Chains A and B, each alone.
Chain A
Amino acid sequence: EAAVTQSPRSKVAVTGGKVTLSCHQTNNHDYMYWYRQDTGHGLRLIHYSYVADSTEKGDIPDGYKASRPSQENFSLILELASLSQTAVYFCASSERFPEQFFGPGTRLTVL
């Protein structure tokens, strides 16, 4: 079973501040993904990556940046956090599409 960890598990940020969410996987998966989950809605893809040092935009990339410095690590960056970015964020990794293994999530509250 793939091991995907996220940090922090929860965070409170102020509007306009910078937030970095981190994801780490230990199974040498090439693909990594960032999703957000809002109450009453399905997960939506923000950014993804097929290989280290490269990222791609997902369906809702506005207001987010991503960084993949190594195969194991994938970060999501909110340069100027806004109220609308309050959500639960999930990281996932996969060896091959479409199977994905999800982390436990990070609950972000922007005040």
Chain B
Amino acid sequence: KTQVEQSPQSLVVRQGENCVLQCNYSVTPDNHLRWFKQDTGKGLVSLTVLVHENDKTSNGRYSATLDKDAKHSTLHITATLLDDTATYICVVGDRGSALGRLHFGAGTQLIVIP
């Protein structure tokens, strides 16, 4: 059973527009949540990590929120660029130790057009 669901599955925006990606999960316990960017044919690159209830993080044009009560996270991308075209993957860690597992979403494919 999929424990990390991402929406939308794919998204097309024009350069300069903002967009919001969603992540809902059922992983328990939920120690932390991380957003990765995966360029086509490349590995995963960490964008941000959220740990605490109602955490908010910011990394340049990327910002993220976490609501642990609702088991929900959002990733906001402001003023999109063509280089933002990629798959964005939400990952939930069930523990903060080597005994834990990472639970991966299937990703949201973002396409930024001129």
Residues of A at the B interface (CB closer than 8 Å) are: 4, 31, 35, 40-45, 50, 59, 90, 96-100, 102-105
A43 to B31, CA, bound (A): 18
Q: List chain B residues, Cβ under 8 A from A43.
A: 44, 89, 102, 104
Partner of B101, one of A45, A99, A104: A45
Partner of B106, one of A42, A97, A100: A42
Partner of B42, one of A45, A99, A105: A105
B71 at the interface (CB under 8 A from A): no
A53 to B57, CA, bound (A): 39
Q: A40-B106, A42-B89 are in contact. Are A98 and B43 (CB under 8 A)?
A: no
Q: List chain B residues, Cβ under 8 A from A99.
A: 46, 49
Inter-chain contact total with CB atoms closer than 8 Å: 54
Which B10-57 residues have a C-beta within 8 angstroms of A? 31-32, 34, 36, 41-46, 49
Q: List chain A residues, Cβ under 8 A from B2.
A: 42
Chain B residue total in the interface (Cβ 8 A): 28
B4 at the interface (CB under 8 A from A): yes
Q: Are A97 and B42 within 8 A (Cβ)?
A: no
Partner of A105, one of B41, B95, B96, B100: B41
Q: A98-B93, A99-B46 are in contact. Are A42 and B101 (CB under 8 A)?
A: no
Partner of B102, one of A40, A45, A103, A105: A45
Q: Which of A31, A42, A43 neighbours the largest number of chain B CB atoms within 10 Å of its CB?
A: A42
Mark contacts of B80-104 with chain A using CB atoms, 8 A cut-off: 1 yes-contact digit, 0 otherwise.
0000000001010101111011111
Query: Which A-chain residue is minimally distant from B42 (CB atoms)?
Result: A104
